[in-house]
């Protein structure tokens, strides 16, 4: 079983490491490389979440309660804490294809 934290942001990597999250940090993930039992963390679009779940892996979404003026900015781990950063598990599936 592998864990992947998908992010391009140094602040998110720092935030995760401070919480002892043991994952491989990547800036992109190909769902075809994910195996049953793996864990994927990050802020993936819903179609990729569905693909990850279809392969038998779990998906934990990095949720932030961002104020409008912070959108699009690089946040530090401290900024993320101030925005209530947390990981929430979601499941998705494509209904019709």
Please indicate, yes or no, if residue 58 is contained in any of the structural domains: yes
Its domain, for residue 73, covers 3-90
The predicted model scores a pTM of 0.93
Q: Calculate the average pLDDT of the chain.
A: 96
Q: Could you tell me the pLDDT band of residue 70, with boundaries at 50, 70 and 90?
A: confident
Instruction: Give the contacts of 26 (CB within 8 A, at least 6 positions apart).
Output: 4, 5, 6
Residue 49 maps to a domain: yes
Does an H or E element contain 58, and which? strand 58-63
Evaluate whether residue 62 is within a structural domain.
yes
Of 90, 91, 87, nearest to 63 by C-alpha is: 87
Structural domain contains residue 96: no
Q: What is the mean pLDDT of residues 76-94?
A: 97
Total count of domains within the chain:
1
pLDDT of residue 97: 66
Average pLDDT estimate for 8-35 = 97
């Amino acid at each position: 079983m592998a864990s992947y934290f998908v992010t391009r942001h140094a602040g998110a990597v720092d935030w995760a490491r401070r919480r002892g999250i043991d994952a491989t940090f990547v800036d992109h993930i190909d769902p075809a490389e994910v195996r049953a039992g793996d864990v994927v963390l990050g802020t993936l679009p819903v179609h990729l979440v569905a693909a990850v779940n279809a392969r038998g892996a779990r998906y934990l979404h990095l949720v932030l309660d961002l104020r409008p003026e912070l959108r699009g900015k690089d946040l530090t781990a401290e900024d993320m804490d101030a925005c209530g950063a947390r990981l929430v598990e979601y499941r998705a599936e494509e209904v019709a294809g």
